Amino acid sequence: MINSVEIGKNYAIRLLEFYGETKQNVNIIGVTNIGNVASNQDDYNIYQTYFAPIGLGMTSYYTAIHEDTKIYICKVISSLEPYELEDDKIFIPESLIDKNTSDELIKSLTFTFSISPVIRRFQSEEETGEFTREIEEKIKKRLHGIIEFSLIDSEVSSAYDEVYLENTDISLIEENRKKEYELFLQQRDKMLSTDKVKETAFTTSLTEMNRSKEQYDKALKELELEKQRYNGLCVSLQNKLNKLNND
């Protein structure tokens, strides 16, 4: 839905149902009136473009088009991805536009992320397929931890080509990968150990707080009992004094 049409913006313009309900992606480059368009009707004829093809006569034309009717000068968007405009201009009368079903085209960006090639050797096709499936699932899970990817159905695909390396080279690659993985495990274990210490300290503090609360509640209960005994004693003494005064 659009409230107005602005020069310089892109729109998916849909005509009213009465005028065929056709849709056109356009860039608005200017505004004119029917007088200027009619003076160049050999280049562009409003009636022949929008009315005659769907069987509408001149009465419908004059009902929709007046001297003060805005007519938008547009360039047709031939492609949205990539964004491309046609050279020729078209003219769209504002009175034919269905603003409830038309919409503005907003510039957005499509990102593609690349991962450097991973080189490793496998003993069988089965091992290769298992690795491919496993790595794709791991990537998907990690992507779903990022809000931009969790909102969509992330597509992850992989492909591989054969490459021949000297045994020394591939062995060095795998050895370095193993060292990196071992370093990762060490860092992870260190973090887990630190978290465990923090968790233990928190649990200990919480236990001590609960114990202190229990002692406080117990003392408060004993104080309440003492208060009740004191109030009872006061009532008893008052009754005795009242009795003495009455005698």
pTM exceeds 0.75: no
In angstroms, how far is the first alpha carbon of the chain from the final one? 97
pLDDT tens-digit profile of 83-116? 999 999 999 999 999 999 999 999 988 777 778 7
- pLDDT the model gives residue 100: 96
Q: What is the mean predicted confidence (pLDDT) over 233-240?
A: 76
Q: Which amino acid is at 61?
A: Y
Spatial CA neighbour of 100 closest among 15, 35, 173, 43: 15
Question: What's the rounded Cα separation, in Å, for the pair 18 and 24?
Answer: 16
Instruction: Tell me the average pLDDT across 162-176.
Output: 86
Determine what percent of the chain is predicted with pLDDT higher than 90. Answer: 40
pLDDT, one tens digit per residue, over 53-85 is 999 999 999 999 999 999 999 999 999 988 999
* Higher local confidence (pLDDT), 171 or 198: 171
Q: How confident is the model at residue 238 (pLDDT cuts 50, 70, 90)?
A: confident
Contact 219, 227 (CB under 8 A): no
What pLDDT is stored for residue 94 in this prediction? 96
Q: Is 138 a residue whose pLDDT tops 90? A: no
Most distant CA pair in the chain: distance in Å? 130
Structure tokens at 172: 């060095």
The per-residue b/e assignment along 163-198, b for 16 or more CB within 10 angstroms, e otherwise, is eeeeeeeeeeeeeeeeeeeeeeeeeeeeeeeeeeee
